[in-house]
A and B are shown apart, each in its own frame.
Chain A
């Protein structure tokens, strides 16, 4: 099963690379036109010379094959936008995104499940959890980020308004972006946990567990939660994949370098090498996260293992 899924991943990446390359090539304006817009002294002659130098005057298929064969040899190419090898840009950005998104996801999962469990086990708390979930989902990330900055950085001066530490992890720089991102995801987890747990708590085997004298705490976490966790796991896997692509809005508001901002800059700046490799990396992480979630589900649910 794993071998088959890995083959699917490879095939998807190959198709995706061609489609992405074609889409970027079809975008209006090439890097030289972008450069001309910023430098009125660039003449038509300069433009032709630079196009030839960057290989932009070659046919699309030739450029794609050259790029793809380089990639297969492990050559990620050179970023025109940052004047750095693509690999040297990707890893720090991915690390930064994983730190931000991973922390936010873990917090969102823990808090979301806790809130969901509260709503499912104590019906009087359900309206409160619903309200928190609706607020979290309805509040635009950009707006929430700005509110937190105004409150904690500008007014109180407790935390930095954005950026990254000049060295080290810079925990203080992480708090506000993590909180912003976590709130946005927490809402979904809270609602799904509550719904899933409520449904599970009405199952006959839960009644049986209660009849056998199991405490409510044990019933909730030992009996109901493993069953209720399956859909949450699937959502978390999809979120993890999506977050690997960067939390563009959060990264932009807090001026944090990361995959989302890198990918956005690369596409807008017509940096084909960087955009494609970043895109493929994000796709790969998403597919691996989904595969991981499937495997975890099979481990949790014996019925899936039997198929």
Chain B
């Protein structure tokens, strides 16, 4: 009788114990403002859509360009990219993409060249309201070769010719009629936002099956997907903007994981790991968000290269990273990330050296005054305005540490912080900051920093304040490099140009590099297969590889 009871209990318990988890709940801190792949670009949207649709190409976790819905990346060598002359006589290039076989929308309709043609036509029309339009301006012709193959003719030759950025098939059988009816109002009538759960919109391993605006999105397996079968039956993504509340939901078991791309601030994750490290797996992934100090090059002191170098020498970045971020944020030596294929490991580095910083300031004519603050020959104090985004606790902490470190070198800083909205929209973009500004740039792998370093990109009123060279940095060689680098197709020659760009950057310090921000991924111990990338192509683009142990 006892044996029978034990067998019965075992039989009852075994299926439950052996039952693999088939649902996953993810917490993120932002809700997507739209589900249309080409309207507005935001990480929350990219994160959710990574499960449900696939672009032609993307940069992988190894930071190399790869095909997602295409069969082969075009290259000059394989003949799928051919240099040519445009009808206007400019150098151009034609690239051919063939869609993967068996790719279908969620309603079973094959993803075809017509879907690419529709996406191209919609993008070319300025009234449609797609985001960055540089690609569509450049792609002046699209030729449908067959049901699965298109050739694009571009009027500009860049080394990124194989990267199609946001260009991706859109379901013409659903969207074309809506767009043709009135391109100007298409963005308010697109099925992506009016019928988000329509399976025909999605060609990824999952499809969106439920949406609670501002709150959550539910995805389920897409039966039409013919790639690797996804590991979860259902994935729910909850948007919880308040990070302590998100942490509480994680601890309470309401969410299984917090996405690193859009989750807990690093310092909060580090604190959580100390308290609940055994319950979750923590992974810190450095990425392309480059935290730095922008400085006004027309400032009487900051215009002097010796003062800029002295400020960097007086900054103990390794200690700050260690003390405030548990050493998780790698120190930056230029704007190029060490994970980038074009990073030069020989680039000049500026380890903390207070004595050298003081000597450089002496040399620049700034000598210590009676209160320890340096003065020039005219008796002016070396006092710099120092701004950052108010309310960003990590930045404000760093700012105070830097203030103390620089004071030891005889440099006074006056902190004046502003809400992000005012700081970015007015103060930075209209160059109203007077000394130093701490913020971050986000870029892509091998992204040429023309907009931040070329002298034509210094924002001016007569150019409607366009450009992002807020500090006003000017260097003729840097101008040539940032202009010609994108057009160089030879990787070896390009690497040499990148090496030179980094050398100038590290020597002249157009801005003071601090570190590359790290994303804090918090996963359940039973989850495998998530591969953070550290760049804008989020980990969900490979979500079919995620598995429960």
Contacts and interface: CB of A to CB of B under 8 A. Distances in A.
A49 interface: yes
Interface string A151-194: 00110010011111010000000000000000000000000000
Contacts, number: 155
B248 A146 contact: yes
Contacts of B244: 146, 253
Contact of B242 (A47, A48, A164, A252): A252
B240 A255 contact: yes
Contacts of A157: 252-253
Interface residues of A, number: 54
B131 A42 contact: yes
Nearest to B128: A53
Interface in A61-110: 78, 80-85, 89, 92-93
Contacts of A80: 33
A143 to B, nearest CB: 11
Contacts of A257: 212-215
B241 to A, nearest CB: 7
B421 A268 contact: yes
A150 B250 CA distance: 11
A73 B303 CA distance: 58
Interface string B175-213: 000000000100110000100000000000000001011
Interface string A262-291: 100100110000000000000000000000
A83 B422 contact: no
Nearest to A158: B252
Interface string A1-38: 00000000000000000000000000111100111011
A163 B132 CA distance: 34
A301 interface: no
A48 B466 CA distance: 10
Given A29-B426, A255-B242, A257-B213, A81 B33 contact: yes
Which of B239, B466, B467: most chain A Cβ within 10 A?
B466
Nearest to B39: A83
Given A42-B131, A50-B129, A78-B188, A166 B421 contact: no
Given A38-B43, A44-B464, A255-B246, 10 more contacts: A33-B424, A39-B42, A40-B441, A40-B468, A84-B213, A153-B251, A153-B252, A163-B215, A163-B249, A261-B214
Interface of B: 31, 33-36, 39-43, 126-127, 129, 131-134, 165, 184, 187-188, 193, 210, 212-216, 218, 238-242, 244-246, 248-249, 251-254, 421-422, 424-426, 429, 441-443, 447, 451, 463-464, 466-468
9 smallest CB-CB distances across A and B, nearest first, come from A29-B425, A44-B466, A83-B34, A161-B252, A41-B132, A39-B41, A153-B252, A83-B193, A255-B240
